[in-house]
């Protein structure tokens, strides 16, 4: 994908979330079953080593912080997102949590130096995060090269023994969603400008907006993990009306 195409698609998605932030928040308060399932892969019970350090990259309205609150463990949670309104809403929601101490940072994961924004945090950051989650976010990064760049940057933030969780929308598995795809010509592109698995999908709740999305299947997820020197330990499908609209992958450092 040409850099100019990538940048235009990134701009499209920034505008999308600026337009739909409020209705997006109102429809993202419940917990997807797949998010709750993730807790079986997280530590439970013993807090003797201090709070669990969690980075939520592309946190949106921060709803995963509320999922973590059910662990009944102290959690130092850092949510990162590029949309300032969603971060405001996330702060409001997190203020009600019992076990989670939440910090939110505005940063754009598509930029090479986005992680520098984390340096404003306390010294604990320098030892890395126990858990890094990137839920329904990597799918909005145009080009295989950018997706690999982002995943590698997330892997670099893991503490020793930490794990990275990625979920990706499997919209091509749903005839309902496939039928909603919008022609590339509506944004001035042709099929030759984009990559296999790319699509434009609309939002039609309260306001109308269009976003770019890419389906990351298991084969691509494995390739991305390998490039980041990670290995996939577990995968599963969950969520949506069909029960399989998100692919979840739990990754750890590859053994040497």
Each residue's pLDDT, cut to its tens digit, for the chain (256 residues) gives 999 999 999 999 999 989 877 666 556 656 788 999 999 999 876 656 789 999 999 999 999 999 999 998 999 999 999 999 999 999 999 998 999 999 999 999 999 999 988 876 653 456 789 999 999 999 999 999 999 999 999 999 999 999 999 999 999 999 988 999 999 999 999 999 999 999 999 987 667 889 999 999 999 999 999 999 999 999 999 998 888 999 999 999 876 5
Distances (CA, A) of 222 to 41, 135, 169: 19, 16, 16
Quote the radius of gyration of the chain (alpha carbons, Å).
18
The reported pLDDT for the residue numbered 209 is 86
The reported pLDDT for the residue numbered 29 is 58
Closest CA to 49 of 162, 164, 165, 133: 162
The reported pLDDT for the residue numbered 46 is 62
The reported pLDDT for the residue numbered 124 is 47
The pair phi, psi for residue 6, each rounded to 5°, is -55, -45
Q: Which two tokens stand for residue 159?
A: 């503490």
Burial (CB count <10 Å: 0-12, 13-18, 19+), residue 186: exposed
Residue 239 is given by DSSP the state: -
* Length, in residues, of the chain: 256
User: What is the pTM (predicted TM-score) of this model?
Assistant: 0.93
Distance CA 1, CA 106 (A): 27
Q: Which two tokens stand for residue 187?
A: 């944004």
CATH H superfamily, domain 3-170+215-253:
Vaccinia Virus protein VP39 (3.40.50.150)
The reported pLDDT for the residue numbered 47 is 58
What is the DSSP annotation of 1-53?
Answer: --HHHHHHHHHHHHHHHHHHHHHHHHTS-SPPHHHHHGGGGS--S--TT-PEE
The reported pLDDT for the residue numbered 256 is 58
């Amino acid at each position: 994908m040409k850099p100019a195409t990538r940048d235009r698609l990134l701009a499209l998605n920034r505008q999308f979330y600026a337009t739909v932030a409020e209705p997006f928040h109102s429809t993202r308060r419940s917990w997807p079953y797949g998010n709750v399932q993730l807790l079986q892969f997280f530590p439970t019970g013993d807090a003797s080593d201090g709070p669990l350090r969690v980075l939520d990259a592309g946190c949106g309205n921060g709803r995963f912080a509320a999922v973590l609150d059910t662990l009944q463990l102290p959690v130092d949670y850092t949510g990162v997102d590029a949309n300032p309104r969603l971060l405001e809403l996330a702060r409001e929601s997190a203020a009600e949590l019992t076990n989670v101490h939440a910090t939110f940072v505005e940063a754009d994961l598509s930029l090479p130096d986005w992680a520098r924004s984390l340096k404003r945090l306390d010294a604990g950051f320098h030892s890395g995060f126990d858990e890094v989650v990137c839920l329904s976010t990597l799918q909005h990064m145009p080009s295989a090269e950018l997706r690999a760049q982002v995943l590698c940057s997330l892997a670099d933030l893991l503490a020793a023994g930490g794990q990275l969780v990625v979920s990706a929308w499997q919209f091509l598995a749903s005839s309902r969603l496939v039928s909603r795809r919008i022609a590339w010509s509506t944004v001035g592109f042709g099929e030759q400008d984009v990559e296999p698995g790319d699509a434009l999908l609309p939002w039609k709740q309260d306001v109308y907006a269009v976003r770019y999305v890419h389906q990351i299947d298991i084969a691509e997820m494995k390739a991305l993990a390998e490039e980041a020197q990670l290995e996939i330990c577990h995968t599963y499908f969950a969520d949506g009306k069909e029960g399989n609209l998100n692919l979840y992958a739990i990754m750890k450092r590859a053994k040497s």
